[in-house]
């Protein structure tokens, strides 16, 4: 039966040293797990002002989702929402055994089609949370939000949050603090079949990310804007990422995107914007000491030879980058070698004392052929 006009509200309270243990199945929510198993319409989950400490979702030989809190929409959902407000999340762990770990503190998952659904996270503090994938992958050291299939008119809004010393741990660990996925996640050797998303957005405002770490992508933040990577023309449409008035400092990744990694396929009428934000002393072992933008990979191999950006722009406006380091692109690295039509607009990038061990002490822009990318740099006034 379908669920409609329903809700779950959890307010205040202290949740300490609780454990969800996977046996025959995966583990969900070390302290709190909310499931919508049937088709859901106008359903909301509100989690407000609680304290969550040392909770564990232990997947055993399976995956683990949400060391403290897991919210899962298993079937189609419309006009549904999750609100997490004024919570304190400390030392929680999602521990995957034979499967992945999602969200060291919080995991939200829209498993199939979602329309007009939202996730709002406001005034939360996340400290020393870990997504540990053991022998598999890890996604979001503190928070993971997934749209596993088509998403239409959906939003993830994060305001006035503090992420400190969270970690995504595994050989393939992504998003030391936060990971947001829009679209399909390809399985090696298999083409994803879901359609692309429309009018979805991620907004991160007035938040601080410091001392977070990951091994593969994004020491602090990863956005996967993959759409349907089996079809280069099936793009994310009217898609937006906006990061404004945020601070990223001392985050580290072993590979790509010391603070932020954006993995973006084809985009149509879309905008990716960083404004009025500062990136200080972040580091990457390979690409983009502060920010890296690249195309989707599957086991290190491009999904397609090219992805078209149509009427879409990557913007940096009034951004400060100081003391960031990488092998390629000490502050910013844009690998557009597989993007066609990418528009790069940089308005007042104040880059000082960044360093690259190989190429691009401040900025590295890879465009092959050169006509793939249109870039404009404007001075500060």
Nearest CA-CA partner of 365 in 292, 277, 273 = 292
298-309 CB burial, b ≥16 within 10 A, e <16: beeeebbeebbb
Q: How far apart are the first and last CA of the chain?
A: 60
3-state secondary structure of 370: helix
Closest by CA to 86, choosing from 121, 111, 57, is 121
What is the block-wise mean pLDDT of the chain (381 residues), using blocks of 10 residues?
A: 80 95 86 86 90 94 92 82 94 90 93 81 97 89 86 87 96 93 56 59 95 96 70 65 95 96 82 92 95 69 59 84 94 81 83 91 75 67 60
- Print the SS3 string covering 172-199: EEECCCEEEEEECCCECCECCCCCCCEC
Nearest partner of 166 among 149, 155, 157, 179, judged by Cα: 179
Residue 57 has a pLDDT of: 94
Asked whether the beta carbons of 76 and 36 are under 8 A apart, the reply is no
pLDDT at site 1: 56
What are residue 372's phi and psi, to 5 degrees? -65, -25
Residue 190: per-residue pLDDT: 44
Checking 2-6 for CB contacts under 8 A at 24+ apart, the result is 2/38, 2/39, 2/40, 2/41, 3/36, 3/38, 3/39, 3/40, 3/41, 3/43, 4/40, 4/41, 4/42, 4/43, 5/41, 5/42, 5/43, 6/40, 6/42, 6/43, 6/44
Q: What is the pLDDT of residue 375?
A: 74
Residue 184: predicted pLDDT: 57
Cβ atoms of residues 212 and 260 within 8 Å = no
Give residue 198's pLDDT.
74
pLDDT at 179: 95
pLDDT, position 301: 38
What integer pLDDT is reported at residue 367 of this predicted model? 67
Q: Which residues sit opposite 36 in a β-bridge?
A: 73
Query: Rg of the chain over CA atoms, in angstroms?
Result: 19
Question: In the chain, which residue ranges form alpha helices assigned H by DSSP?
Answer: none
The string of pLDDT tens digits covering residues 115-171 is 788 899 999 999 999 999 887 889 999 999 988 767 778 889 999 999 999 999 988
Give the full edge-to-edge strand order of the sheet including 27-28.
27-28, 64-65, 101-102, 137-139, 172-174
Q: Which residues contact 122 (CB under 8 A, 6 or more apart)?
A: 83, 84, 85, 86, 157, 158, 159, 160, 161
- pTM for the whole thing? 0.92
- CA distance linking residue 34 with residue 40, whole number of Å: 13
């Amino acid at each position: 039966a379908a669920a409609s006009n329903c809700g779950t509200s959890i307010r205040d309270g202290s949740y300490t040293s609780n454990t969800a243990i996977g046996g025959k199945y995966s583990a969900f929510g070390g302290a709190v797990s909310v499931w919508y198993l049937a088709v859901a319409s106008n359903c909301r989950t509100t989690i407000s002002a609680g304290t969550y400490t040392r909770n564990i979702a232990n997947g055993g030989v399976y995956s683990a989702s949400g060391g403290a809190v897991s919210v899962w929409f298993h079937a189609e959902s419309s006009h549904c929402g999750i609100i997490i407000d004024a919570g304190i999340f400390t030392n929680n762990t999602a521990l995957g055994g034979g499967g992945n770990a999602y969200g060291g503190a919080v995991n939200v998952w829209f498993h199939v089609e979602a329309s007009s659904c939202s996730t709002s996270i406001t005034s939360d503090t996340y400290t020393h949370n870990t997504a540990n994938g053991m022998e598999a992958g890890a996604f979001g050291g503190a928070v993971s939000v997934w749209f596993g299939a088509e998403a239409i008119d959906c939003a993830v809004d994060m305001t006035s949050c503090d992420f400190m010393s969270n970690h995504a741990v595994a050989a393939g660990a992504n998003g030391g603090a936060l990971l947001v996925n829009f679209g399909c996640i390809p399985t090696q050797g298999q083409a994803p079949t879901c359609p692309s998303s429309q009018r979805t957005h991620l907004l991160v405002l007035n938040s601080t990310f410091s001392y977070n770490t990951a091994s593969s992508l994004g020491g602090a933040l990863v956005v996967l804007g993959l759409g349907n990577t089996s079809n280069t023309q099936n793009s994310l449409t009217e898609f937006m990422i906006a990061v404004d008035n945020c601070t990223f400092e001392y985050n580290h990744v072993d590979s790509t995107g010391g603070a932020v990694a954006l993995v973006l396929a084809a985009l149509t009428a879309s905008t990716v914007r960083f404004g009025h934000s500062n990136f200080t002393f972040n580091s990457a072992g390979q690409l983009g000491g502060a920010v890296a933008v690249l195309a989707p990979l599957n086991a290190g191999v491009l999904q397609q030879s090219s992805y078209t950006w149509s009427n879409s722009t990557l913007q940096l406006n009034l951004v400060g980058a100081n003391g960031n380091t990488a092998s390629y692109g000490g502050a910013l690295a844009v690998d557009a070698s597989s993007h066609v039509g990418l528009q790069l607009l940089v308005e007042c990038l104040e880059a000082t004392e960044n360093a690259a061990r190989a190429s691009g002490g401040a900025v590295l822009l890879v465009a092959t052929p050169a006509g793939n990318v249109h870039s404009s740099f404007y001075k500060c006034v």
